[in-house]
Amino acid sequence: MPWFSRSKDKMPAEKKEDIWVRCSACNAHVYKEEWFANLSVCPKCGYHGRLTCDQRLELLLDPGSFTELNASICPNDPLNFVDGKGRYAEKISATIEETGLRESVKTGYGKINAMPVAVAVMDFRFFGGSLGSGTGEKILRAANYAYDFDLPYIIVSASGGARMQEGMYSLMQMAKTCAGIARLNEKKLPYISVLTDPTAGGVSASYAMMGDVNMSEPGALIAFAGRRVIEQTIKQKLPKNFQTAEYLLEHGFLDLIVLRHEMKDRIHQILTYYRAGRTFRN
Amino acid sequence: MDLEFEKTIIDIESKIAELQKLSAENKLDLSVQIRELKKRAQAYKERVYDGLTAWQRLQVARHPQRPVLQDFISMMFSGFVELHGDRGIADDRALIGGFATLGDYRVVLVGHNKGKTAEENAERNFGMAKPEGYRKALRLFKLAEKWNLPIITFIDTAGAYPGLEAEERGQAEAIAHNLTEMARIQVPIVTLVSGEGGSGGAIGIGVGDVVLMLTNAVYSVISPEGCASILWRDAEHAPEAAEALKITAKSLLEMGVIDEIVTEPAGGAHRDPTQTAEEVRKALQKHLAVLCAKSVPVLLEERFRKYSGMGRFDS
């Protein structure tokens, strides 16, 4: 369920001032240069700030190894959706203009420590990373690319959930993307899911939870239903760490929580086991 | 519950009942008048129901007297053997399933289990399943696959239950797992949205080779109330949200999200559950016949293509 798609707080992690970044977790002021050198992790409290898809790709893949696929796909307002604040079609143009992105995910292939992989990296700035038709299409096509070329598939999720403005087409992306993952399973191709802050609703209830290995970063919000909805339903206070990566690890839904600067090597390490399994009888 | 737009229908219906009573008590022949009124009632029902807005249809889909899974089971299926439990945590009463016979077909039937009375709904949590419900469904799907029985699913839920334990036990994972497995289950799956198709909780048992909807059923990515409170910042705008979200069977057929509409009698399924069940039975049998004749590779390839084609975008 898409319970937060407010367009105003797209990147609340770092309040951008001139040379300072204020950590939204501990309020510490950090030199911008230091903040980004530390991969948008607060050097004071360890808070993992949100990344754009390009920052994430840079972090995960060998320099210059990324080739983007299906870059032209973008939303087309299939429902002619109009809400209290205006037309979806207009918001699409504005968001494309503002972010330089055409959908809430970038997909393609590249290398992790020289190992070829297919990747999909979501970007929360584009309609809260929500699951539009184009998002689902790109994630499926990248899965099919992995299928066709026998590649491991890595998806980095960052999403508030379904994209309401695309109605049932959005819900159907859950079935569509999972169908892609199911075919990878059939061919015994590895799929690693990285659930970053936040991963919620229809994205957590589809491909994001289906990794052979599910990993996350410290403090990331991972949820199905929104906190407010649950509080209203059960009329009781929820635990403080409710729906954090740590909470999900404790309850058995994540394999590991990885620090950002270790993420690439950790994924590579895991994939070496896949590679070993492919060759050990030969 | 009386719906606003049904007032006149209900008036005419009570007048018919009155005349029938009068005729019986006083041994009067009022058959001409009664027939005339019935004809008027029918025409009126058809007119009203043809013109319902999305929001009004949602009220029909949620009508407390609308036939629920248990009604369909007793009206259409024989030999129902309910199978309980997810083999882990519990037996979720909100989502049930088991073996059932529909005409010549032995099937595994799985569906949301809404109740009609307060007691039933307390026991069945209004058909809002927890992860153990979805995991029970998956266990039954795998059983159907192992025994080579086709699957029928009935969708009728406001949504997957949003609660503390449901999150703790992995509501998201349970639904995701079902979507992934249903994509490749090696037996035919026919899905009917019979009432409310509430988001992830609906699609969690809804990846059918064929997806049918009753005329007044709705299927939505989010409840119109929820959508309105986010995009309009006010749940009062739910009727507008219902329209914008395109949640009716007619819209979804045009969009290619569903495959066929199963026609409800004029005046809605709650006026004539028997006729409704008959239409559903015919539709299910027709599609089972087609799907059961397909080889497994063809079935899976077509299912993959069907879901691959969902969505509209520019490129």
Tokens, residue A14: 């770092």
Tell whether A184 lies on the interface with B, counting CB pairs under 8 A.
no
Give the pLDDT of residue A85.
87
Within 135-154 of B, beta carbons closer than 8 Å to A belong to none
Rounded CA separation B182/B189 (Å): 8
Please say if the pLDDT value at position A3 is more than 70.
Answer: no
Q: Which residues of B fall within a CB distance of 8 Å from A182?
A: 180-181, 183-184
What would the CATH number be for the domain defined by B57-308?
3.90.226.10
Candidate from B163, B204, B237 with C-beta closest to A234: B163
Give the pLDDT of residue B284.
98
Q: Which residues of B fall within a CB distance of 8 Å from A242?
A: 164, 167
Rounded CA separation B243/B248 (Å): 9
b/e for A72-108, b at 16 or more Cβ within 10 A?
Answer: ebbbbbbbebbbeeeebeebbeebeeebebbbbbbbb
| Shortest alpha-carbon distance between residue B9 and chain A (Å) | 32
Rounded CA separation B127/B111 (Å): 9
Confidence of residue B9 (pLDDT cuts 50, 70, 90): confident
Sign, CA dihedral A207-B303-A133-B227, equals negative
Q: In percent, how much of chain B has pLDDT > 90? A: 86
Tell me which H or E stretch contains A158: strand A153-159
Rounded CA separation A197/B66 (Å): 41
Residue count (chain B): 315
Tokens, residue B41: 């009632």
Give the pLDDT of residue A7.
45
Please say if the pLDDT value at position A130 is more than 90.
Answer: yes
Give the pLDDT of residue B166.
95
Confidence of residue A17 (pLDDT cuts 50, 70, 90): low
Tell whether A178 lies on the interface with B, counting CB pairs under 8 A.
yes
Confidence of residue B113 (pLDDT cuts 50, 70, 90): very high
Side-chain half-sphere of A271: how many Cα atoms within 13 Å? 23
Confidence of residue A150 (pLDDT cuts 50, 70, 90): very high
Q: Which residues of B fall within a CB distance of 8 Å from A233?
A: 161-163
Which of B177, B218, B221 has the highest number of chain A CBs within 10 A, making it the mutation to test binding with A? B221
Within 133-172 of A, beta carbons closer than 8 Å to B belong to 133-134, 136-137, 140, 162-172
Give the pLDDT of residue A127.
97
Distance of CA A40 to the CA centre of its chain: 16
Q: Output phi, psi for A28, to 5 deg.
A: -65, 145
CB contact under 8 A, A169 and B255: yes
CB contact under 8 A, B304 and A167: no
Instruction: Kindly list the distances between the CA atom of residue A282 and the CA atoms of A260, A276, B108, in Å, as whole numbers in the listed order.
Output: 35, 10, 43
Please say if the pLDDT value at position A174 is more than 90.
Answer: yes
- Omega of the bond prior to A198 within 30 degrees of 0, cis? yes
The DSSP secondary structure of A20-78, one letter per residue, reads: EEEETTT--EEEHHHHHHTTTB-TTT--B----HHHHHHHHS-TT--EEESTT-EE--T
Q: Which residues of B fall within a CB distance of 8 Å from A2?
A: 221-222, 230
The end-to-end CA distance of chain A, in Å, is 47
| A2-11, A110-119, B93-102, B171-180: segment of lowest average pLDDT | A2-11
CB contact under 8 A, A230 and B163: yes
Proportion of chain A in helix, strand, coil states, percent, rounded to 5 = 40, 25, 40
- Render pLDDT for A222-275 as a digit per residue (tens, 0 to 9): 999 988 889 888 888 898 899 999 999 999 999 999 999 999 999 999 999 999
- Render pLDDT for B119-164 as a digit per residue (tens, 0 to 9): 999 999 999 999 999 999 999 999 999 999 999 999 999 999 999 9
Give the pLDDT of residue A281.
66
Tell me which H or E stretch contains B152: strand B151-157
CB contact under 8 A, A166 and B311: yes
Give the pLDDT of residue B61.
97
Query: Where do runs of H (alpha helix) occur along A210-262?
Result: 227-234, 245-250
Tell me the average pLDDT of chain A. 93
Q: Output phi, psi for A91, to 5 deg.
A: -65, -30
In a domain, A11, yes or no: no
Give the pLDDT of residue A53.
98
Distance of CA B231 to the CA centre of its chain: 27
Please enumerate in sequence order all residues whose Cβ is within 8 A of that of B243, keeping only pairs 6 or more positions apart, or say none: B53, B54, B55
Report yes or no: A166 and A79 within 8 Å, Cβ to Cβ. yes
In a domain, A130, yes or no: yes
Q: Which of A115, A129, A172 minimizes the C-alpha distance to A9?
A: A129
Tokens, residue A152: 């491991």
The domain total for chain A is 1
Tell whether A176 lies on the interface with B, counting CB pairs under 8 A.
yes
Q: Which of A79, A97, A94, A73 minimizes the C-alpha distance to A165?
A: A79
Q: Which residues of A fall within a CB distance of 8 Å from B169?
A: 251
Pairing status of strand A86-87 against strand A29-31: unpaired
**Looking at beta carbons, which pairs linking B120-127 to residues 24 or more positions away fall under 8 Å?**
B123/B93, B124/B93, B124/B94, B125/B92, B125/B93, B125/B94, B125/B161, B126/B94, B126/B157, B126/B158, B127/B68, B127/B94, B127/B95, B127/B156, B127/B157, B127/B158
Q: Which residues of B fall within a CB distance of 8 Å from A72?
A: 314-315
| A108-122, B33-47, B155-169, B205-219: segment of lowest average pLDDT | B33-47
- Render pLDDT for B267-304 as a digit per residue (tens, 0 to 9): 999 999 999 999 999 999 999 999 999 999 999 999 99
Residue type, A53: C
Within 44-103 of A, beta carbons closer than 8 Å to B belong to 70, 72-76, 78-79, 81-85, 103
Confidence of residue A8 (pLDDT cuts 50, 70, 90): very low
| Shortest alpha-carbon distance between residue A256 and chain B (Å) | 16
Confidence of residue A14 (pLDDT cuts 50, 70, 90): low
Report yes or no: A70 and A101 within 8 Å, Cβ to Cβ. no
Three-state secondary structure call for residue B194 = strand
Average pLDDT over residues A5-12: 47
Which of B313, B314, B315 has the highest number of chain A CBs within 10 A, making it the mutation to test binding with A? B313
- What is the pTM (predicted TM-score) of this model? 0.94
DSSP category for residue A128: G
* Structural domain boundaries enclosing A275: 50-279
Q: Output phi, psi for A49, to 5 deg.
A: -70, 165
* ipTM, two decimals: 0.95
Please say if the pLDDT value at position A6 is more than 70.
Answer: no
- CATH assignment of the domain containing A98: 3.90.226.10
What are the residue boundaries of the structural domains of chain B, listed by start? Answer: 4-51, 57-308
